[in-house]
Amino acid sequence: MRRFPSGEVLQKQKEQLRQMYPVGTRIELKGLCDDERDMPPGLRGTVVGMDDQPALLMHWDNGINIFSLFFQVLL
């Protein structure tokens, strides 16, 4: 059974992610776990926020606005 991080651990992860990728940071997609249409490797985007997972809220250069779990898309 998968255990979810405690509140303290989650807060620490969120703060680390917020420091690494503040709003306005430009990132490049290295790949997704699924073959998402219109989301090719090399696509660039801008961080516009973060949700409670924590996941980055992104505005991609192709006009798509979706969240990205940092461990899936950022290297």
Q: What is the pLDDT of residues 58-74, one digit of tens each?
A: 999 999 887 765 544 44
In sequence order, the 6+-apart residues with CB closer than 8 A to the CB of 35 are: none
Query: Residue 58 is encoded by which pair of tokens?
Result: 């992104």
Q: How many CB atoms lie within 10 A of CB 54?
A: 19
Q: Flag whether pLDDT at 44 surpasses 60.
A: yes
Domain ranges, ordered by start, for the chain: 7-73
Pick the CATH number of 7-73 from 2.102.10.10, 2.70.98.50, 2.30.30.30, 3.30.70.330: 2.30.30.30
Predicted pLDDT at 22: 94
